[in-house]
Structure 1
Amino acid sequence: MSTLPDLVFFAVLLVFAGALAGLLAGLLGIGGGAVLVPVFYQVFGYVGIDPAVIMHLAVGTSTAIIVPTSIRSFTAHRRRGAVDMDLLKGWILAVPLGAVLATAVASHASSEMLRLIFALIALMLAARMIFLSNRLHLGDDLPGEPARFAVGAVFGVISGLMGIGGGVLNNTFMTLYRRPIHQAVATSSGVGVLISIPALIGYVAAGWGEKGLPPLSTGFVNWIAFALIIPVAMVVTPMGARLAHAMSRRQLEFGFSAFLVVVSARFFWSLYG
């Protein structure tokens, strides 16, 4: 991807990817990482990027995009007083520690391993939303230490490996303990900040000097994708949000679950098809 036509084709594909990611993120009420990683995987593959680094690049670039979006979301939610700041303060070490550990694992993992991890976790999340939504509760309040620290660290590891902001995981965790979904969503924006900043640094370091990366990449982060996705997604996301308000919560859960199943199937096919 060294010629001008190649770069233009790459940019056009990313604009369409940003529109798709923004629409789905707005429709499904997620930060976009679970959408962006599989979309990046497809786009990077279309333009001939080395398969050995495609998944790493998809996860790292998705993580970079989560940084500004999660900070903006957290600021807005905090002004409304909806964030559980006590939970975030308890996770201020655990979540970043898990995210940094994830980047260390990713630096030694193959593209195939990262795809398998993403596919398996996506299937588990889909199964939870389809079969256990609003029907499973583990208690009336969040667990104390050291269980809470362990949960934060695990969320950091899983989110860092998948290139997501942890919203799906934290929403599930808090609602399992009967916290209101609006508080869970608001707090998840802060979790995204705790995950994305250290994970971004980790993916830049892990991919430093790696061969086969596209132009304007710093480690496993491609700044062309970053610059094009952010504005397009911000324009399109409200359209998806308006569509979401015309649907029931259960319809949205089934829609997101179906999306995760399709993504898992795509990754499994790439591994074993």
Structure 2
Amino acid sequence: MLAWHLVLELLLLGSCTGFLAGLLGVGGGMLLVPFITLLLTSKGFPSALVVKIAVATSLATICFTSISSVRAHQARGAVRWDIVRMLAPGIVVGSLLGAQVAKALPAALLAGLFAAFVSFSATQMLRGRKPRPSRQLPGAPGMLGVGSAIGTVSSLVGAGGAFMSVPFMSSCNVPIHTAVATSAAIGVPIALAGTLGYVIAGWSLQDLPPGTFGFIYLPALLVVSTTSVLTAPLGARAAHALDVRQLRRVFALMLYAIAGYMFWRAVQA
């Protein structure tokens, strides 16, 4: 049975990540992975497995968060379903592959990879470069390749893919609110395929802690997904009402601190 303070911590974590997923299109994984790692480490989870469990659990919660967020965005007609359809096949293949790669990686390397990805995402947020006016989305082969890359990296780091898909769509002159809304829809196949991949990857392991299903820690999935589903629509509504540029800069600075923690975890591992 979960301790009451762990339940409260997971409830707060789910509330914050759900709101940020809707507001900034970041999927929540950049917060979920380090904080779930921190919480489970304090509960004595094996250091060789805790980051992989955090990544897998983050992806599983994104299944629910993304669905909740995309419903709110779709109510405003902001989702480009044609982009989702072109990216989805590559995303599914890449997400399944990423889970198998993560299983084989040492814990230190996976933590370092996550820290590098968070640092890159924060830098992209701060730079805010404008796309070239003439640039457009690539054809079907290019979209397949982009989808595969987004799926693989997202599955490795437990994210919904917005850190890659939003800058990619923005660089192809897709309006930012449309890019954020579409990235929420793209997060659904990433999370579903990645979750399945981590269940398969951890299925045969005998030393996983109680409460896990494959690499997914079910108590954290239940608590975090319940609250994130409730707060993601609030963030999505705020995204259409606010200028989020200043918020993204503040969030980017927080990401650098998170990256520092995960680099420290990599060194400790």
**Normalising by the residue count of structure 2, what TM-score does the alignment of the two structures yield?**
0.88
Would the aligned equivalents of 2:125 and 2:249 in 1 still touch at CA under 8 Å?
Answer: yes
Q: 1:195: which partner in 2?
A: 190
Q: 1:9 to 1:79 in 2, by over 3 A?
A: closer
Which residue of 226, 233, 243 maps to 1:231? 226
Q: Unaligned 5+ residue runs, structure 1?
A: none
The runs of 4+ residues in structure 1 deviating greater than 6 Å are 238-247
Cα distance in 2, alignment partners of residues 244 and 88 from structure 1: 20
Matched, 1:89 2:85: yes
Matched, 1:108 2:101: no
Which residue of 130, 133, 145 maps to 2:126? 130
**Normalising by the residue count of structure 1, what TM-score does the alignment of the two structures yield?**
0.87
Q: 1:165 to 1:208 in 2, by over 3 A?
A: same
Matched, 1:215 2:210: yes
Q: Offset of 1:7 from its aligned partner? A: 4.5
Matched, 1:152 2:150: no
Q: Offset of 1:194 from its aligned partner? A: 1.6
Cα distance in 2, alignment partners of residues 145 and 243 from structure 1: 33
Moved more, 27-36 or 203-212: 27-36
Which residue of 32, 45, 48 maps to 1:49? 45
Would the aligned equivalents of 1:53 and 1:212 in 2 still touch at CA under 8 Å?
Answer: no
Q: 1:87 to 1:243 in 2, by over 3 A?
A: closer
Cα distance in 1, alignment partners of residues 56 and 110 from structure 2: 12
Cα distance in 2, alignment partners of residues 70 and 31 from structure 1: 7
Cα distance in 2, alignment partners of residues 94 and 238 from structure 1: 27
Letter in 2 for 1:126: A
Give the secondary structure class of the aligned counterpart of 1:49.
coil
Cα distance in 2, alignment partners of residues 137 and 116 from structure 1: 33
Q: Offset of 1:125 from its aligned partner? A: 1.6
Q: Offset of 1:72 from its aligned partner? A: 3.1
Letter in 1 for 2:42: Y
Matched, 1:118 2:105: no
* CA deviation profile, 1:33-87 (whole Å, cap 9, x unmatched): 2211111111111111011110110011111111122223334434543222222
Cα distance in 2, alignment partners of residues 87 and 128 from structure 1: 22
Q: 2:174: which partner in 1?
A: 179
Cα distance in 2, alignment partners of residues 163 and 261 from structure 1: 17
Give the secondary structure class of the aligned counterpart of 2:88.
coil
Q: Offset of 1:242 from its aligned partner? A: 8.2
* CA deviation profile, 1:86-133 (whole Å, cap 9, x unmatched): 2222223111011011011011112111111111111112112212x1
Cα distance in 1, alignment partners of residues 257 and 237 from structure 2: 24
Moved more, 51-60 or 259-268: 259-268
Which residue of 232, 237, 246 maps to 1:251? 246
Letter in 2 for 1:105: V
- Number of aligned residues: 268
Q: 1:62: which partner in 2?
A: 58
Moved more, 111-120 or 229-238: 229-238
Q: Unaligned 5+ residue runs, structure 2?
A: none
CA RMSD of aligned residues (A): 2.6
Moved more, 67-76 or 36-45: 67-76
